[in-house]
């Protein structure tokens, strides 16, 4: 597993990439909070949220093909959750009659739009900052220390675990060439247990090495985040715009 998988576009040079990680985290978190707090069935504001998101994406200089591809990979889950809404009403006797009313469809559509915009904000977040800097930003935002410690260990151990998974898969395949005739849960479960055991031994060694170098649960970076005026202004401006749409978009305007 390569780091490229995680930090693909985080090294681009754009005004957004240069912002403090806390600003990006807060913008994504509060942006999502504002979007999802829209009352069910209200559709017009999503056009404005979409426009605002487009401005943020343009400022970030991210390739649209990448954003769209990532969205399309994950969108089936959103589509399913939206379709589930009228379908779940249809399958229950007491709500069957209202399952495909216009209002129900509008609620399902608003679920789809809320989830889609939130997903775009999440894709944007991981694309404009290195993952370990985001973790550092979260820690600066008072994320519990234990979560920070587990995060930094997990981040290194994912690669240890992945290496062990490849090694044991190679060993299994060399003993049983070709595909398994049928899925054998026992074979996979034993392999999983073996990977866990091997990587646990390696992780203990790694942890001891980290402790001997002074690791005490906190993590640092060569690029320590520091809030500047521009960061605060950027966050304030976009949050105000999000809030303005949330509070002052008149649903009657749609007619």
Partner 1 sequence: MHISDGIIDPGISIGALVASVGLVYVAGRKVPQEEIPKMGITGAALFVVSLIHIPFAGTSVHPGLFGIAGILLGKRAFPVIFTVLLFQSIILQHGGLLSVGINSLNMGAGAFLAWLIWRQQRMPESLRAAMAGIIGVLIPVFLMVVEFHLSGYGLGIIYLFSVYIFAALAEGVISLFVVKFFRKTKSDILA
Task: Tell me which residues in 198-227 interact with partner 1 (CB under 8 A).
Answer: 199-200, 203-204, 206-207, 211
Please report the DSSP string for 118-172 in residue order. HHHHHHHHHHSS-HHHHHHHHHHTT--HHHHHHHHHHHHHHHHHHHHHHHHHHHH
From 47-55, 169-177, 191-199, 240-248, give the range in contact with partner 1 by CB under 8 A: 191-199
Question: Exactly one of 16, 19, 125, 245 binds partner 1 (CB under 8 A); which one?
Answer: 125
Q: Which of residues 126-155 bind partner 1 (CB under 8 A)?
A: 126, 131, 134, 138, 144, 146-147, 149-151, 153-155
User: Could you tell me if 128 and 16 are in contact, meaning their C-beta atoms sit under 8 angstroms apart?
Assistant: yes
d(CA 210, CA 150): 13
47 in contact with partner 1 (CB under 8 A): no
157 in contact with partner 1 (CB under 8 A): yes
Nearest distance from residue 83's CB to partner 1, in Å?
A: 10
Question: Exactly one of 9, 49, 161, 234 binds partner 1 (CB under 8 A); which one?
Answer: 161
Q: DSSP letter at 3?
A: G
d(CA 162, CA 141): 30
The 86-105 site mask, x for binding partner 1 (CB under 8 A), equals -xxxxxx-xx---x------
Q: DSSP letter at 98?
A: G
Q: Which of 189, 240 has the CB closer to partner 1?
A: 189
Question: Exactly one of 47, 74, 233, 243 binds partner 1 (CB under 8 A); which one?
Answer: 74
Handedness of CA 205, 207, 209, 211 (dihedral sign): negative
Cβ partners under 8 Å of residue 82, min gap 6: 108, 109, 111, 112, 115
The 4-33 site mask, x for binding partner 1 (CB under 8 A), equals --x---------------------xx--xx
């Amino acid at each position: 597993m390569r780091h490229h998988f995680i930090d693909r576009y985080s090294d681009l040079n754009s005004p957004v990439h240069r912002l403090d990680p806390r600003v990006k985290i807060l913008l994504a978190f509060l942006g999502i909070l504002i979007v999802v707090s829209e009352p069910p069935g209200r559709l017009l504001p999503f056009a404005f949220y979409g426009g605002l998101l487009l401005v943020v994406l343009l400022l970030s200089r991210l390739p649209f093909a990448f954003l769209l591809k990532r969205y399309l990979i994950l969108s089936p889950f959103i589509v399913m959750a939206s379709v589930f809404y009228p379908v779940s009403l249809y399958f229950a006797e007491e709500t069957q009659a209202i399952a495909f009313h216009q209002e129900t469809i509008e609620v399902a559509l608003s679920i789809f739009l809320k989830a889609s915009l939130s997903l775009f904000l999440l894709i944007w977040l991981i694309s404009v900052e290195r993952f370990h800097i985001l973790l550092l930003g979260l820690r600066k935002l008072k994320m519990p220390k234990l979560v920070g410690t587990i995060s930094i260990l997990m981040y290194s151990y994912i690669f240890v675990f992945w290496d062990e998974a490849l090694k044991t898969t190679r060993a299994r395949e060399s003993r049983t060439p070709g595909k398994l005739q049928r899925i054998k849960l026992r074979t996979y479960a034993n392999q999983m247990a073996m990977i866990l055991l091997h990587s646990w031994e390696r992780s203990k060694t790694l942890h001891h090495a980290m402790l001997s170098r002074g690791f005490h649960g906190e993590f640092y970076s060569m690029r320590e985040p520091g809030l500047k005026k521009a960061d605060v202004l950027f966050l304030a401006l976009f949050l105000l715009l999000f809030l303005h749409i949330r509070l002052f978009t008149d649903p009657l305007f749609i007619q």
